[in-house]
Structure 1
Amino acid sequence: MFAGIGRSSVRHPWLTILGWLVAAVALTVFAPQFKSSADQADFLPGHYESLQVADLQERSFPQQERPAATAVFRREDGGVLTAGDKADVVRVTDGLDRAGVELVESVKTGPQAVSPNGKIALASIVSTVDDHQDPELLDAVKELRERVGPLVAGTDLHVGLTGAAASALDTRESSGDTDAMITMATLTLIVILLLVIFRSPLIALLPVLIISVVYVVASGLIATAAELVGLTADSSVSSILIVVLFGVGTDYILFLVFRWREQLRAGQEPKAAMEEAVARVGETVASAAGAVIVAFLALLLSSLGMLRAMGPALAISVAVTLVAALTLVPAVFSLLGTRAFWPSKAWRTAPRNELADRTGAVIARRPGTVAAASGAVLAALALGVLSFNPVFDSGSSLPDDLESVRASKEMQRGFAAGQTDPVWVLVEEEDGGTLSTGALTAYAEELRGVEGVGQVAPAVTNASGDVAQIAVVLAHPPTSERAIELVGGQLRDTAHEAAPEGTRALVGGPTGVLADIQAAVNRDYSLVFPAAGLAIMVILGLLLRSAVAPWFLMLAVALGFGATLGSTVWLFQDLKGESGLLFTLPVIVYLFVVAIGTDYNILMVARLREETRSGVDPREAVYRAVARSAPTIGAAAIILAGTFGVLLLAESTMLQQMGFAVAFGILLTAFVMALLLVPAVTSLLGDRVWWPGERRRRAAATVPPPAPDEQSAVGASTDR
């Protein structure tokens, strides 16, 4: 099959390239815009309690105004607001209210909006739309920020806008800058590394151009698929998509170009060499991509919409990259021929690689020592997992210098920790009657007795009298771990148990959403991880025709996962002093490190099988496989880790954590697992690794070891 694909692309290069360009243009013109959201509630299924609260609240209290944003006033010197300051607050608020900003229904304040300590005053910004992520509403908040400056000029006041819409605006603008920065850093890194490896400007630039076309096609397909099934992705998916496409795409191009260069060195003509390269490396690359795709698709089992949307999006991107690697890349390079390597002539002769030779020799001589040492390193790093503390508020990853973040912190200087986002407790009469005022008062007292609850407002009943809502202010910040545990545990338990007879009680609000997300993530850990691991094992078994190899490979990858997450915990929690890591990080690390990192294991084991089939004994096969694979695996891993590593340049803590974890995990997978642990264990197991598939054919005579300069450029192809 792969021979036919390579032959078709090489013999009809212009038609292949034209097809890709037409697809890119058509998707750019006709594909819908990809929708994203930063609101955690958008990603929960409707059966979670916090969403039931929101639905009941909307039906029972439609007249209740929920501010889209809040203006936070304070004195420049941080002191108590004077009578003149309060008058200025009213004047500025009236000025914003009369400004006629589109989608802004009202901007209002009052004496009750001044904090108990007198240092902070608030003004509520109410919009005419319920969706606080609406792009036009975000533009309205941006206009309000521009208008408020002249209004406070000449006063002693400082004003900042925060709240849902203001945070969404800051996220959108920060993400736009981050995407541009990540794109430029990724492209620069890839070009420099390829230039160092091949010493050819054409080969350094061509992958970037090819993957840019792939990016356009993949983005259009993802947006179209999302529109058809109604998926909304997290606002960070665009940054992840960039590094996945350019990182994985560059890897697959490297695998193919290295094999093409090897065939050229063997004396084949460029077109014939490319056909042979696709035929030989196609199965391995397709298997590696398949492992990544099924791991991403396992996210469809998640109960979080953000992960369900991310999974198919990334799976589509990898699938498009695979097709491009097997069609577009051969077409482009077959047209260029050996001119692609200009001005370097190094492609004509195989270089010496003493480090790879020595590594292979050490593993072949002392596989037990190497396996124990590499396994011990991974196990030691994995100990950091014991300190892992998940953080469930994605807004906490926003840079501290954003206006919404600063204003939110300033607001907490004057109001109780949970004042800004109270927990809502709703009580609904189940038999169609009306609620008793006395019962509601007694119920509120029960809630007030829960440890960690600061204030409980009197119950407010709807027009029909069958639903009441109670605002509960916590003593802890709404997004803190203690608040989430309280709402998801004791507060909900008390609210349910103490509900008046004949009623049902529901607990929601922003903290309730986070508590439900925590429950959803714990459920996903126990489902997505095993499903992804099982799918990857099936692919490994089919590729290697073995029932043994997939088991020890997945055990090795699991150890690598623990080492990756543990190292990230030590860096960000212990060294940088952050409160915790983003709650989705274990899922992201598992899928990226297990799936993408498994590429290198597949390449190594496929080369081990190839050498074993040649008739040499297992240790000789290990020596040859490591010596010939190390250059390619090392180069590919450095490029892929580098593309994820550029996420460390982002201002978002979430992206920084993700960038380090995936980049470091890939390096561990390549240099510790694929090049040390896997071949060492394979040597120890011997022929048993390939059971019940084809066992090695013993050679009648000893096969001499490869010459030092006999390096294979692709490392892990599977000869037919």
Structure 2
Amino acid sequence: MFHRLGHFVVKRAWWVIIAWVIGSIALIATAPKMSASTDESEFLPKHYESIRAAVVQQEKFPAEFSPSALLLFERKDGAALTDADKADMAKVVKGLTDKHIPLVEQIIPPIEGKTFSPDGQYAMGMVSIDKTKMQTDEFTVAAKDLREEGRALASGTALKYQVGGPAAMGLDQKESSSATDAITMLATIVLIVVIVGVIFRGILVGWLPVLLSIFPMIAASGLIALVTKAFDLKSSPIASAIDIVVILGVGTDYFLFLMFRYRERLRAGDDRKAAVANGVGRVGEAIASAAGAVTVAFAVLLLSELGMFKSLGPALAISVIVTALASLTLTPALLAVTSTKAVFWPGRKWMQEPEGARFHKLGKMVSRRPGLIALVSGGLLVILSLAGLGYQGTFDMAKSMMPKDKESMLVMDTLSKKGGEGAADPTHVFLTTSTKGGGKLDPAGLDGFGAKLGQVPGVAAVQPEPKLSEDGTTADFVVVLKDSAASNAAIDTITKLRSTAHPAAPAGSEALVGGTSSIYKDINLAMAHDYKLVFPVAGVLILLILGLQLRSVVAPWYLMASVGLGFAATLGATTVAFLKLGSESGLMFMLPIFIYLFVVAIGTDYNILIIARLREEAREGRSPREAAKEAVRHAGPTVAAAGFILAASFATFMLAGNVLFAELGFALAIGIVLAAFVMAMFFTPAITALLGKKAWWPGHGAMPDHGPEAVAEREPQVAGRA
């Protein structure tokens, strides 16, 4: 199949290139515009308690003031606010009101005794912004206008004026994400150009994977936008940066898979077009299988309870499919119409295989001592996996997704420190009969219910008088927790609060716990669901793909076992780096999912490439140990180059300046290093050598392949190979 595809592409190279150009432009031109959501509650299904509570709040208390922005006033010298400062604050608020900033509905000035800090050093004003426009650019523009206009009004006074809250966080997140995307793309491109150029000793060849990624990137963006709109999926602000690295990283992987085979065929004596066609024929199945495994791993996220992953999974799956198609069609087409001298210019020794190449030595080492190699490499993965037992998750996305010096983060920090950790974002407990179809609440039972809420460990205070809805069916109890809303301690308190509120609800009524901490609690529950469903389903599907590719029942099992060890080892190494050696209180709750996405999915690529070469060498009649030596010798450089580039690409996330991307960058980089340089390079070939012909049971992996295509293209044994 792939031999025929290679010859088809070579014969119609210009038509293939033209088709990619026209198709990519058409897709992006017709694609709808996407907007990213920063509201965690939008990523949860409606049946979760926090979402049900939000619905009750919206229906029963529609006019309740809910600030979209917070105005923080402090003195520049840090002293307590004076009467003159209070007068200046009133002028600023009035001036902002008179500006009639678009979407701003109401501005409430600081109120003494309520929104002043106990020490009198800061005061907080609250702004209501049209929430129907939350997912539009105008919503964050309103926060930007509040900042600029407010600073102008406060100039010449002793006041320090800052804007925080959801709208300001959205603005800061947007600016931070834009910078992250630019840094990630630039750093990744530089890495690819330099490393690929050095490997193949050429200038154009270094730029080829980048240039060849442009059209898949355009086409994938258009398709993702169309699918997102068609199925009403949500888009996360971190998706774009990840998608860039996936297309560039995976595209470079597949480019290297093909380029090493292309150069190998040239060294074996093929002319340019024959080398391209035979290269596709030889490595096409490995690329397709690798892309299939990655696509399945991503697509299975459709089963996730979290909208963030439900949308991210298909988006990344589309990116991988498009990239793989480009690698099997666009890349060979471009190579077919470009002279080899131009591709490898100015290098002159690319036709010569280095004497005593290091991968030849590594191959010999694996073949001579497979037991020791398997023990050492497997032992390293086990040791790192044990370190993962200290994993602790955290849900504070706001602090993790933005640099700490962003204005909204400074406002949040001040409110938390001076106003009490939980006061800045209280929890709401709704006691309602409307969901039960009953009548009005009995006021006599409200005091006792509120008193029970106040006795829950972790609760700092309960508002004395609950607010009743106009129809008398619902009461809103405002509960202030002792800890910040996104902390693990607050989430634990929510568990206790629910277990107290639910049975304490009077007959005919229902208690629903809402608010930020409740949302995080439900995200925690959704993650637990995903771990139990998504991981096993993905594992079974990848196992089937490996079995079909290798025609074996045995090999897929130890390949998946090694990938599982790689996942645990990656989590362990990241836990040590950030929790043991670093100062973080926990790793971002989504980190295990991302490790699964990239280490399990993409890391499988390298195992597939090395096992495909092992099978190829075995089919040519070599003994298991000899096959392991040749596989490491010939596929080792590809795995090493691809793994190093992808790991370095992920490491560029650490330049973004926030905790989330620092953790992501480190985890994914170390995970790819383990997948390429420990699992694929040593563990997999060593285990295969130890098992011998049993690894291919019940197929015929150890039988020589005498098919006409294989005979026609089997390289001379005396020829140098990459």
- 8 Å Cα contact 2:352/2:720 also seen in 1: no
> How far is 1:698 from its partner?
8.4
Residue aligning to 1:345: 348
Residue pair 2:35, 2:136 contacting (<8 A) in 1 also? no
1:127 aligns with: 129
Q: Does the C-alpha gap of structure 1 residues 359 and 709 become closer, same or farther in structure 2, counting only changes over 3 Å? A: farther
User: Contact 2:374/2:683 (CA < 8 Å) preserved in 1?
Assistant: yes
Matches within 5 A, 1:319-468: 319-338=321-340, 339-397=342-400, 398-429=402-433, 430-457=436-463, 458-468=465-475
Secondary structure of 1:418's partner? coil
Whether the 8 Å contact between 2:36 and 2:135 is mirrored in structure 1 is no
2:318 to 316, 319, 325: 316
In the aligned structure 2, how far is the partner of 1:358 from the partner of 1:198?
A: 20
| Secondary structure of residue in 1 paired with 2:339 | helix
**Conserved 8 A contact 1:132-1:164:** no
Summarize the alignment of residues 682-697 of structure 1 with structure 2, pairs less than 5 Å apart: 682-694=688-700, 696-697=702-703
Deviation at 1:431, TM superposition (A): 4.5
2:648 is aligned, of 642, 648, 652, to: 642
The answer to whether the Cα contact below 8 Å between 1:3 and 1:275 also exists between their aligned partners in 2 is yes
Q: Distance in 2 between matches of 1:555 and 1:250?
A: 26
Q: 1:353 to 1:486 in 2, by over 3 A?
A: farther
Aligned twin of 2:491? 484
SS in 1 for 2:511: strand
- For 1:4-403, list aligned pairs within 5 A: 4-109=4-109, 110-111=111-112, 112-338=114-340, 339-397=342-400, 398-403=402-407
AA aligned opposite 1:427: L
How many matched pairs? 706
**Sequence identity of aligned pairs in percent?**
45
What do the CA deviations read for 1:235-290 (whole angstroms, capped 9, x no partner)? 10000000000000011011111111111112212112111111111111100110
Deviation at 1:149, TM superposition (A): 1.2
For the 8 Å contact 2:614–2:627, the answer to whether it is kept is yes
CA–CA separation in structure 1 for the residues paired with 2:206 and 2:116? 61
1:117 offset after TM fit, Å?
A: 2.4
Contact 1:353 1:709 in 2 (8 A): no
Q: Which amino acid aligns with 1:433?
A: G
| 1:716 match | none
Secondary structure class of the residue paired with 1:45: coil
Distance in 1 separating the partners of 2:28 and 2:704: 56
- Conserved in 2, the CA contact under 8 Å of 1:537 and 1:551? yes
Q: Is the 8 A contact 2:550 2:701 kept in 1?
A: no
Give the match's secondary structure for 2:549: helix
Structure 1 gap ranges (5+):
700-705, 714-720
1:591 and 2:591 are equivalent in the alignment: no
SS of residue in 2 equivalent to 1:500: coil
| Structure 2 stretches lacking a partner, 5+ long | 706-714
TM superposition shift of 1:695: 5.0
Per-residue Cα deviation, 1:150-206 (whole angstroms, up to 9, x for no partner):
211122211111111110110001101111111111111110111111121111112
Give the 5 Å matches for 1:701-720: 712-713=721-722
Whether contact under 8 Å (2:261, 2:283) holds in the other structure is yes
Q: How many angstroms apart in 1 are the aligned matches of 2:92 and 2:648?
A: 49
Instruction: Calculate the TM-score normalised by the size of structure 2.
Output: 0.96
Q: Deviations over 1:14-68 (max 9, x none)?
A: 2111111112221222111122111111100000000001111101111112111
What is the CA-CA distance between 1:146 and the residue it aligns to? 0.7
Tell me the amino acid that sits aligned with residue 471 of structure 1: V
Range that drifts further, 352-361 or 368-377: 352-361
Match of 1:718 in 2: none
Change beyond 3 A, Cα 1:181–1:431: closer
Task: Render the CA deviation track for 1:475-498: whole Å, top value 9, x for unaligned.
Answer: 1111111001110x1101101011
Inter-partner Cα distance in structure 1 for 2:264 and 2:145: 60
Partner-residue secondary structure (3-state), 2:73: strand
Paired residue type of 1:298: V
Relative to structure 1, is the Cα distance of residues 323 and 698 closer, same or farther in structure 2, using a 3 angstrom cutoff? Answer: closer
Q: Contact 2:458–2:493 at 8 Å: present in 1 too? A: yes
Question: Alpha carbon RMSD of aligned pairs, Å?
Answer: 1.6
2:720 & 2:186 partners in 1: Cα distance?
Answer: 33
Q: 1:293 to 1:219 in 2, by over 3 A?
A: same
CA offset digits 1:587-645 (Å, max 9, x no partner): 11012111111111111111111111122221121112112221111111111111111
TM-score (norm 1): 0.96
AA paired with 1:678? T
